Structures are given as C-alpha cells and as structure tokens.
Structure 1
C-alpha cells in the first residue's frame, strides 16, 4: 500500500482487532496487528500507537463485583451494619457510577447513604437540576423536600439522576438521602460514620477538606487499588459491566506501553510512541458536557509524549511576514520549512503553542474521537504527522 502523499498533514485511523477477551496477551495481540500494518506500509517512525483502556482492562480480567466493593468499603471505613455513609460529589452517570453506588449501599445492611450532588451540574457538566429553578430557590443546600416531587431529566439521557440514585440505594437495602450543595463540608452536618469523596478531578481537595474534620474519609482511588483484580486508579475510570461486575481501569499501564514500544523497535525496526487512552478531554458546546469521566485522558504513555506540543504559530507568522515584510507566499513557505524565523517576529514565542497542551492529552483525545465508544470496533488507533 502506497504512503499518503506529502501534502497530507496530521491524520489518524482506527485499526480493527476483533473481540478481546479476558486472558488475552494484549501486548502480543496489539503487536500482531501492528506488524500487519507495517507490512502494508501503515506504520513508520514517528507514529503514535494508541490503545483504548477498555480492551487492556478486559484482557487483564480486571473486574470486581458490587459485593467486592461493599466488603472493601466496610473494611476501609470501619463501617458496621446500620452505619451512615456520606458520598460527596459523584458524577451523574449510569455507566460510571450506578454500580459503584450499589456496592456502597450493599455495605451498610440497613444503614443510610447520603448522596451530596454538586449543582446545577456535576463536575463533568451533567445537569442534575435546572439552573433557573435552583437560582429561584436561592438556597445553598437543596433537599428533596425543596424539590416537592419535581423531576429534572438529563437533556441527553433523559434520566432524572436524583430519583435514579435514590432508587439504587433503596433497592440495595439502605435508606437514601439526597442533598444538593456545593460545599463539601455540609455532608458533616448529617454525622456520617464514613465519607467517600466521589469526585474525579477535584478529589484531592475535597478529601483534604473533609479529612481535616472527619477521621474516616477516602476517595474512589482508595478502593479496589490492590488485590487479585485492581487498578492503581482504584474505582476511578471504572465502567459498568455485565451483571454485578464493574470493569476497573487498566493496571500497570506503564509496563504495557514500554513493552509494546520495545517489541516494535526490536522486531519491526520502527520507533513509535505508545499510549493507553480513555476519555478525551473535550467539552461539547451544545450539551455543556465535559467528556472526561476518567481521571486523565491517557492512563499511561511512553516518555516521548510527556511534553507540551510545540510548533510555529503558522497563522501569526504568515501575517507578520506578509504585512510587515511584504514577502510572497513562496518566500514565507521557504522560511517556515527552513525554520529561519526572524527574531522580530516574536522571538522564542513563535515556537510556543497558543495554549500549552500536553502531547499525551492531545493524542488521547484524538484517539477517543476516532474510535468512539459505540460500534466502530477499532480499539487501536495510529496517529501520524504530529
């Protein structure tokens, strides 16, 4: 297969791999597909190989059950039957948090689960309550009594997450209490025996605030981070699976990307970077939803991606050389290709991106957009020209 012509810029494409099941040697399986790509002229020096976290975790058989979550929660927070648990700032998600919440409720054997939502949205932009209604209430803490039976369906999923989470807790045999408040310390007004700071990106701050006043507070990362099935990310980045199973994020991702990079270098003679990607870091301007429900876009990446993307400010330099120096398009193109940049055009600043972004975040987000989360069937993505 012929390579794309030189006038084609950065591009990415998905590679089909078929079904990956528990027990698969994921490094070998990905390498075999990459060897096929190499034979067809689709893999070369400078490429970036991206593997979705879901197939890595499945190959590792990295699953826990709601009963596992319940047992570990009881142990780590020293909860007895009938205890009261506070769950602060969970995201509103059937896929990401519903089974985790069920595991929490199963741990209490007739106790109470107090879920404290942030409002009007969770931290990734899912709407919990209508903003105008919340503003009209004018309260910093909203209870179910304040809602008076009103429902607030999510604009995309059409799920009323307040009712949904309440019903999950009840079905697991615990008593639900739902409150909406943006101050994490308000959970302490309900005298919980233990607290889970259930947010993702702000978890360290939330835990620090609560732990300063309560002896038993953990984050989602503190659960399921050791044992037969585990991830160093704990329950962060987990997903609903079949039945009562929860699929954790991959474990030991750094070892996987390093081993795959080594195999490609030694057996194919090609120098590539490798990463394991999850959710892309972008926000949908229509729904306001920030897609990043994983703790980071890349769960692991080889060292070459641990840097900020740099390059000339092409559009700025084109304007500068045309308007300030009267150069032609051909002259400007020659200067850019030769990297002969006039210091008066901005000095060192011309080599900085408009907004600094880590390479691993850019590439992981691109790979997530290419593969999607539906039926593309391409858990392997190759990125070229970046």
Structure 2
C-alpha cells in the first residue's frame, strides 16, 4: 500500500526546529505585552462573505487563493482564513470591544492561515502569521507605533539591513480623484499589460501598480502618483507619520507605487523588507483600514494593523546566520543496570519531574553503555547511575556531564541536589 504524504504547500515542523518556533512566539508575546497589546484567537474558518466584503472581491486572495467549502447542512459558504484582519475586526464588532474603557483596542494574534498559492521559499499554502491590530484611533502616532513595534521586534531577533517602504494610499475620495488620471494612463498601454492587469483596469485600477510582472512594472513606472492627489488632511497625516518615525530613528523610504494587495487599506501602507529571502523580499506588510469596521457592520471606527509570516522570518534568520538561543536537552538521565533498579528509577524520574527537573530514563532495556550514549544524545546535564551496590545502599551516583565529576549520594536526596 502506497504511503500517504503531506499535502503540497504544507510542512511538518519537527522536534529540533519547533523549539525555534516556540522561541519566536514567546518573544513576540513578550514584545507585544510591552506595547500593551492583548492576544485574540479567532476561528480557523469564517463565512466566506467576511473575506469577500473585508478583503475585497477583486483581490487575488478572494479570486484565486481561498479554500472554501459549502456547509453540508446549509447553503452557507465557509472559508479557511487567508488572513486574520477581517476576522479580528468581525470579533471586535460582534463582541462590542469598542465599548471597553481601555481604548484604543490593541490586539495581536499568532496562528495558521491558508492560501492556494504556488509553493516556494517563504510562501506556503498553510503558513503561520503573527500580527497586530489597533482599533479606535486615527492618530498618526499609532501608525508610527505599529511600524516601530514590528521593526523593533526584528531588531531584537538580530536581523540587519532592514528597510521600511511606505506610502499613503489616501482616502476613498483621494483615490477617486486619482482614478481618473490613472485610468487615462493605463488605457493607453492596456494591451501591453498582462491579462490580470487588463482585467484589473476596469475593476480596481490601483491594483495594477501592485503587479509583480517585471514588464508591467516597467510599463507603469511613470503612472500618476497617488501622493499627488492626496487631500491636505491625508497629506498632513502622512507627513506626521514620517515625523514620528524620524523621531524614533526608524529608517524608511517613501515608495509611491506601494499599494498592497488588499482593498481595505486607506492612508498609511507599509512593508518591511530584507533582500534575498527566497522568491520575495517582503518580511512584513500592513497599513491603515479606516473603513473596514463599518464595512463589516460596525460603527465607522479607524483601524491599523500588520502581519508577518514566521516562515519568512525563519528564512531571514538563516540567511543572516542568526542562531536562536533555544534551550534543548534535558536536566537528568537515569541509567540502570538491573530490572530492580529500573523500578526505583521509574519512581525517581516521577519525583524529579514533579520538582520541575526535566528527566528521562531508558524504556528499551538497553545495556548501560547504550543508555549512556542516549544520555549524551539528549545532552543531559547530569547522568544518575543506579547499579546493584547503589540499590543495596539506597544511593545513586550523580555525574555532571560537562566536567565528568561524580559523587555518590542518598537516593532520597537526589531531588534536592538536582533542583539546586
């Protein structure tokens, strides 16, 4: 019978690697805590309409990449979440979080997302995102805080050579003024663009600027800039964000072509980049979405957020040769020489674990030499040996693996000795 293999675009995160993921997740939780963000956990699947309305029906995510299925007991369509901002905003509205006295509402999440993409380095069909959202404030200092928060996180992870690319995609009114000029430009080169872009011209022309096809990027490099059509208020907001980032010493460049791939963005949009992390260089993306809460049935509340993939972060760390200081191995391995000693060891292992000591013993009836090799493979700090004489005297031999120093102690004292 043929073996069943893992689905394309997914991965097993095995022991030896999963500890690095745990380290990153723990660091992220602590980092967000310092910025007064609280964790939220939303369902892995939502009604498809949430993403159609929230992300946008003309986006690649909704058109091509979602995993959707019809509920077998109703006509409802359900979708594995391709991103989590829409789900967080849905929860914010549904649970009336805007009524909390602690405003603005600051939330973060860690969890898997699902998109039917062509798998490549740093881009999988099931991937893990870490993200944050702030709802209830339109102050430009929050925009700068968001960018600084994730930038500082990458710095704490040890990454170098990062840059922030940012733009203002304005308000809907700003984009409508820009749209007339952009359409005139794009219609002149329509037939030279890829099929996707030709379709986008009529439905969402701004997204043509987000095309990743090199030829199309060259053709549209002189397209009218949204920055030239911002209202005074939008321009002042963007200038304030830049002022705050400059005050924090966060390096950034303004990229008039940066529009991001989701329809809900307004005003500030940003990406954090590092060269050579597989097929893409973007580590993180985010921006403001002031109309999304109202679009999903709530009052018109401002919001801003970002998300980054753990897989891409892992690639970036590997590229720069950064090793995470993860703790591996165990504290103690008990080696036994007789079946009678095994019964004593079994009890001692339980006592050690209850005292907070990571302990292990042999379960394969191996010879003493093989047990010692097992202790070494597990990088045990101490090896405890119980032979016939130790069993008769109610003692154990404790060996410190780093120095080779060993001493015999009463078995009853083992927990206290190792706990110290």
TM-score by length of 2: 0.22
Q: Which has the higher helix share?
A: 2
Structure number with larger C-alpha Rg = 2
TM-score by length of 1: 0.23
Higher relative contact order (CA 8 A, sep 6+): 1
